[in-house]
Amino acid sequence: MLPRAATNGVDSDRLVGVIGAMLRAMQLEHGIHLAYCTNIHRGESWVETLANLELHTMAVRERVAPNRPYAIGLRLSDRAARELSDPAVLGGFRRWLDRRDCYIFTINGFPFGPFHGASVKEQVYVPDWTMPERVAYTNRLFDLLAQIVPEGMEGSVSTVPGSFKEFIRTRDQESAMRANLWRCVEHIAALSDRSGRDLHLGLEPEPLCYLETTPESIRFFERLRADRPGDSRLGRRLGINYDACHLAVEFEDPTVGLGQLAEAGIRLSKVHLSSALKVRPGEAARNALRAFADTTYLHQVVVRPAGGQLIRYRDLEPALAARADTDPAEEWRIHFHVPLYSPPSDLFDTTADHLLGVLEVLGRDPRRCRHLEMETYTWDVLPAELKQRGVVDQLVDEYRWTLARLSERGLFAAG
């Protein structure tokens, strides 16, 4: 199921040659920056985070961009961010980046605490934007980013989509979310002015979360604007982190959704290059899906019955239990990040078509977003048949797939 990539009919020798040139050049067009998100690696302390960069990230870099400046998509837990905030530790990290000719343009500020090795599920959204701890953590990430993002480059942080929907039961909770986001916007704006950096935060819509779909996100921004009419800091400092897996699970059309965000004047802060499972749930497919159910992450399921409205399940196991007898015409989309290079199989497909639609939009207007991050963080919980190689090999293949797709759309030049 979902074996290693095929070439989709492209001449394989030519493809290998083109990709080899891409990897040697590693030059993106239009000021775009590409990284993989280091949330794929276990580690909550700064010592563990830096060890992962040394062990895994530098091994990937040697294979995709040797002797070239290399971008890192940094994930910092609250603990790691506190430890890195020590001036001596931060100074050491800046020297580490200089020695290795690496740079940071984005930080994943979504998971506050442990993200691997234990049950996370809906607790990944805690603390949410109703809580002061989320504000303090996010502000700390920006304080760090302002000191390490290269001069003249944008700096972004991605964050939870407000909260998990089930957590929000009163209007006062949403009011608290908006007030806390405005406090963060004020902090980012002041920091941008002092540092001369263009810093921005991206809310990341996700299935069954408070911000779940593009229309919900637009309505939320309208309420934020109504809180402080005419305050232009919102448009510059707060936007959307568009995760292609999440919005594909919602059966959104990327051209429509991205067009709606542009029309609403909402900044596209970052794009997560990611792909979800897509299934016609016959008996064999449902049985095979059980290998993707795990105790660590939520795998929200959105079902589109033939001619019916979308039906949502908070996790894969409840969906399998509730829909033991299914119409073969219905389609399931499952929030499980699968490797970008995975081709369809007899049982499963992926939402790579949605991701390609996102890249088509960026190809037509590269100014929409300059921050791209590959985010297949599920390495620890992938079924065994998808883990027959090491994580470095998997990440290198994700670069190969991504750079080839960017090249096809004029966003990457092979030198």
What is the reported pLDDT for 13? Answer: 41
Rounded Cα distance between 114 and 124, Å, is 8
**Encoded tokens for 344:** 């369809």
Q: Of 186, 214, 218, 215, which Cα lies nearest the Cα of 201?
A: 186
Q: Report helix angle 214-227 to 254-263, nearest 10.
A: 10
Nearest 5°: the CA angle 314, 319, 321 is: 130
Rounded Cα distance between 227 and 225, Å, is 5
What is the reported pLDDT for 21? Answer: 46
What is the reported pLDDT for 275? Answer: 97
Across the beta sheet with 238-243, the strand order is 33-36, 371-374, 267-273, 238-243, 199-203, 155-159, 102-108, 70-75
Q: Which CA distances in Å does 278 have to 5, 81, 137, 256, 258?
A: 17, 36, 35, 20, 21
The average pLDDT across 388-409 equals 94
Rounded Cα distance between 266 and 257, Å, is 11
What is the reported pLDDT for 8? Answer: 41
What is the reported pLDDT for 326? Answer: 72
| pLDDT above 60 for 24 | no
pLDDT of 166-191, one tens digit each?
999 999 999 999 999 999 999 999 99
**Encoded tokens for 399:** 């670069």
What is the reported pLDDT for 228? Answer: 98
| pLDDT above 60 for 320 | yes
Residue type present at position 230: G
pLDDT of 266-301, one tens digit each?
999 999 999 999 999 888 999 999 999 988 899 999
Q: Which CA distances in Å does 84 have to 31, 35, 37, 163, 221?
A: 28, 21, 18, 26, 32
Fill in the DSSP letter of residue 38: G
Question: What b-and-e string marks burial along 356-392, b requiring 16 or more CB atoms within 10 Å of the CB?
Answer: bbbbebbbeebebbbbbbbbbbbbbbbbeebeeeebb
- The CA-to-CA distance between both ends of the chain, in Å, stands at 35
Domain boundary assignment for the chain: 12-275+351-413
Rounded Cα distance between 369 and 340, Å, is 20
The CATH superfamily holding the domain 12-275+351-413 is Divalent-metal-dependent TIM barrel enzymes (3.20.20.150)
Half-sphere exposure in the Cβ direction for 378 (13 Å, CA): 26
* The model's pTM: 0.93
pLDDT of 108-129, one tens digit each?
999 998 877 777 789 899 999 9
Whether residue 198 contacts residue 149, with contact meaning beta carbons closer than 8 Å, is answered with no
79 Ramachandran zone, left/alpha/beta (phi>0; psi -120 to 50)? alpha
Residues 6 or more apart from 61 whose CB is under 8 A from it?
Answer: 70, 100, 102
Whether residue 311 contacts residue 305, with contact meaning beta carbons closer than 8 Å, is answered with yes
